[in-house]
Structure 1
C-alpha cells in the first residue's frame, strides 16, 4: 500500500517582535511557490500582520480562530470553508482576526490534549495536497506556540543580527525545545539570522550565531529598505531578482527543499 506523503510543517517563531517572522514567512512561502511547491500559510497572530500582507478582506467565512474552536469542540469541519487563495503569490492561506486573542482560552478547554490541537488539525488527510504548511507565530511563548512547535516538522527561529535582540536566544531555544524534546538539532530546529547589516556589530553577532549554533544556521537575510517597502506595498522580495534580500530568501527556500541545513 502506497504511503501518503504528508506536508512539511514549518513553524516560524520567536517570542520577540520585530525580528522578521512575518517577512520570513511570506517570502519563504512565496519562494516555495515559485519553485513549484503547493503551500498553505497559517496566521496564528491576533495582530494579523500576515493576514493583512495577503490583502485579506473580511468575507464572513471562518478563520483560524473558528478552526481551533471547532476542533476543540469536536464539531464537523468543512476544511474548504477556511481556505483562501492569494492569486498574486499562488498560495493558499488561513487568515487570522483579532478574535484569535481568545484562542489560548479555547485551547485550555480541550479535553483530549491542549498541546496537540494543531497536530490533530493538520493530520487530517485534507492537507496532504500541500507540500509545505507554514505557520507564522505570534511574539510570545503561549499555548498557541506550544501547539505550533509540537505539530511542526521544522522549527525555524528568526534571530535578528543585533546584540540586544540576540540576547536571550539560547534561553528561548531551550524553552522551545522543552515543548518538543524529540526534535533533532540541525534537522528539525533551524536558526535564520535576519536583518543583517554590513557593520561590525552585526557581523560580530552573525559570527556568534554561527559559533553557537553551527549546522542549525540558515543563510543570513540582509537588512535593506526594500523590506519595509515590500511590507507597506504588500509585495514579496523573492519575485525581484535584482533584490539581494529576495535572493537570500530564495537561498533559504532551496536549502529547505534540499533538506540541507548548513549555513
Structure 2
C-alpha cells in the first residue's frame, strides 16, 4: 500500500518544490517506487524532474477531471528514477471547473486508489495557497511533510497550516496528520536559525525530522538543468542530506 504524503506550506518560497523533487529522487535512490504528483499550475516540480511541461499530452488536470487515469497520464523520468504526474498552466483552469462538480475535493484520492499497489510512496507537491487543488492533495494524503526555514515568519505560517490540517482532518480526511517538519535552507552560523530550530524541537518534539537540509548552491542550481539536486550533483552536501532524509522517512514508516 502506497504512503501518500503532501509536501505543503502556505508560505511561499520555503523550498516546497525543491524538497518534493529531491525527496522523490532520494527515495528512488534507496530503492523505493515513487510517484511525484505536481499540483501547482506553475509546473516547477514537473520541469525539475526532467519532464517538459510544454510537451505533456496528459497531465494531472486530465486526472482531476476524470478524462484520464494516472497510468495514462504519468511519465517515468529515466534520469530521476521515479514517475511524474505532471502539471502545466492548464491546471489553473481546473480550479474553476471543479467548483460545480460532485466530489470535487476527492478527485485525486479516487485516482490514486487505482494505483495504490504500484508505488511505495506518492509525494504531492502542493501550491502555496489553500485552494481546491491543495484541498485535493490534503484529502488524498495520509500525512503532511512541512518544509520550513528556521525564521520568525515561518513560525507564523506554520500556525496557519496546522489549523488548516486540523480542519481538513475534522471535516474531510480523518487519516490526515502532520508527519514531520523538515528544516531546510539551514545555516548553523545564524543564531536566529538555531534558536528557531530549538523552539521547533521543544514544541513539536519527535515531529521534527532529525535530518537538516543545509543551504546549498548546488540544490539551487539544479532546477535550471531540469534535475533534482540529488541527481544533478550527488556529492553536494544538500543532495546527501536529502538521501539521508529519504532513509529517515523509510525508517519512520512503521511507527507512523
Superposed pair shares fold, TM > 0.5: yes
Contact 1:183 1:189 in 2 (8 A): no
Q: Which residue of 2 aligns with 1:3?
A: none
- Structure 1 or 2: more helix by fraction: 2
Asked if residue 61 in structure 1 is aligned to residue 50 in structure 2, the reply is no
Unpaired segments ≥5 residues, structure 1: 1-5
Q: What is the TM-score with the length of structure 1 in the denominator?
A: 0.87
CA distance in 2, matches of 1:130, 1:184: 19
Q: What is the TM-score with the length of structure 2 in the denominator?
A: 0.89
Specify the SS of the correspondent of 1:147: helix
Unpaired segments ≥5 residues, structure 2: none
CA distance in 2, matches of 1:27, 1:62: 23
CA distance in 2, matches of 1:59, 1:245: 30
CA distance in 2, matches of 1:80, 1:261: 28
Contact 2:9 2:157 in 1 (8 A): no
Q: Greater CA deviation, 218-227 or 234-243?
A: 234-243
CA distance in 2, matches of 1:206, 1:95: 33
RMSD: 2.1
**Correspondence for 1:50 among 8, 29, 45:** 45
Count of aligned positions: 248
Q: Greater CA deviation, 46-55 or 176-185?
A: 176-185
Q: Which string of whole-angstrom CA distances, capped at 9 and with x for unpartnered residues, describes residues 4-48 of structure 1?
A: xx2111110011111111111111100111111111111000111
Contact 2:10 2:160 in 1 (8 A): no
| C-alpha deviation, 1:192, in angstroms | 1.1
**Correspondence for 1:222 among 194, 207, 214:** 214
Trace 1:145-184 onto structure 2 (pairs within 5 A). 145-181=134-170, 182-183=174-175
Trace 1:6-25 onto structure 2 (pairs within 5 A). 6-25=1-20
| C-alpha deviation, 1:246, in angstroms | 1.7
